[in-house]
Structure 1
Amino acid sequence: MSAVEWIATHVSGGQRLTEETLALVADFTLIWALFEGTEAHGEDVIVVDELQSIAERVSHDFSIQRLDEFVTFWSDRYIADGSTNHRFDRLNLAHRPHRTLVENVLIKSDDSLVNKIYATLLITYRLRNNLFHGAKDIQYLDGQRENLRYASDLLKTVLEASGRYIYHNA
């Protein structure tokens, strides 16, 4: 029995998940593994501590147009009337400097290229943590499709700008 079949049979609400959602979860999981394997320095390193240096490193070759698309998407999702909304709170950005940085980028009071990349990586990291470690209610996973799509696309854009396509940590 595949994971999809098992979820549909054994998890309340699992039968309502779309194939598109499940494919996006799988895509995000795979691209995150590639990102972490190529961009993180080792097993003992906490990825969130490396996100700023990754942003600095890839900023020279990062597509500005793509970055603007990512910032616009997440601004539209997490900002209402010039301030953060309930969705933003559910990112669970507990570290105050991270929360402030992401908020400033999304309300467009911080236009630094590196900070915009860093903030979008922080959002993606929180999506990853919430997916893998956060409170689970599979019935809400369909509502994360666009988030997962943009997060995967961000990671692909980082990998393209980085030029690291193989596992350096193997």
Structure 2
Amino acid sequence: MVQLADIEKVAPGVESLSTEEHEALQRFTLLWTLFEAQILGSNASVRKISEKVERIDPEIINGDWLTEHLDYFSNRYIDGGNTNYRFEKLHLRTNDNPDLVRAVLTGDNADPASQLIGCLTIVYRFRNNFFHGIKWAYGLQDQLENFTHSASLLRKFLEKVPNGI
């Protein structure tokens, strides 16, 4: 168990996070900062994510490396063909293109570039919700798989996509 008694005083519940949760948060934080610095020029936005993805050779995106993450996000945010309460908790803003994310998750948009943009938009919202405190409102509960999948997607992206796209 990670010793965080000093942080527990200001962040109740952090000390009770499992080793796996701590590792997932650390991996996500490290990989997000690399992604933002190397791919987004240290200036993250959905617009910038979209611009970068649209420059990627379609053959890179067409591999099956995205499928696992798209399936996870779809299963998490779609029930019976419609978005659920968890989708609303992403706090997608107008400039986050929620219609694209919704269409990707429901399967109405099967374009691989759009799917990657949709998944990275969700990861971006995790980043904002985590780094700006919304996730702390409920003690990071129910977030292990979110951060695990997000970190895995970022790692795969950084491995597959050439620097400076």
TM-score, normalised by the number of residues in structure 1: 0.84
**Take 1:97 and 1:159, find their aligned partners in 2: how far apart are those partners?**
22
**Which residue does the alignment assign to 2:121?**
122
Deviation at 1:96, TM superposition (A): 6.4
Please tell me the root mean square deviation across aligned C-alpha atoms, in Å. Answer: 2.2
1:5-38 CA-to-partner distances (Å, cap 9, x unmatched) read 3234553223321111111111100001110111
The structure 2 residue matched to 1:57, chosen from 52, 55, 58, is 55
- Corresponding position: 1:7 with 2:7: yes
Deviation at 1:142, TM superposition (A): 3.7
1:100-157 CA-to-partner distances (Å, cap 9, x unmatched) read 0000000001000110000001000000000001324365414101000111111111
1:54-106 CA-to-partner distances (Å, cap 9, x unmatched) read 22233431363221111110000000011000000000012166110000000
SS in 1 for 2:7: helix
**Take 2:37 and 2:85, find their aligned partners in 1: how far apart are those partners?**
32
Q: In 2, are the aligned partners of 1:16 and 1:139 still within 8 Å (CA)?
A: no
Aligned sequence identity (%)? 31
**Which residue does the alignment assign to 2:91?**
92
**Take 2:9 and 2:18, find their aligned partners in 1: how far apart are those partners?**
14
**Take 2:135 and 2:147, find their aligned partners in 1: how far apart are those partners?**
16
Amino acid at match of 1:16: S
**Which residue does the alignment assign to 2:17?**
17
Distance 1:26 1:18, change over 3 A: same
**Take 1:21 and 1:147, find their aligned partners in 2: how far apart are those partners?**
10
Q: In 1, are the aligned partners of 2:47 and 2:95 still within 8 Å (CA)?
A: no
Q: Map 1:8-87; keep pairs closer than 5 Å.
A: 8=8, 10-41=10-41, 43=42, 45-58=43-56, 59-62=58-61, 64-87=63-86
Q: In 2, are the aligned partners of 1:55 and 1:117 still within 8 Å (CA)?
A: yes
Counting matched residue pairs gives 162
Distance 1:109 1:161, change over 3 A: same
Distance 1:134 1:9, change over 3 A: closer
Q: Which runs of 5+ in 1 are unaligned?
A: none
Q: Which runs of 5+ in 2 are unaligned?
A: none
With CA pairs under 8 Å and 6+ residues apart, which has the higher RCO, 1 or 2? 1
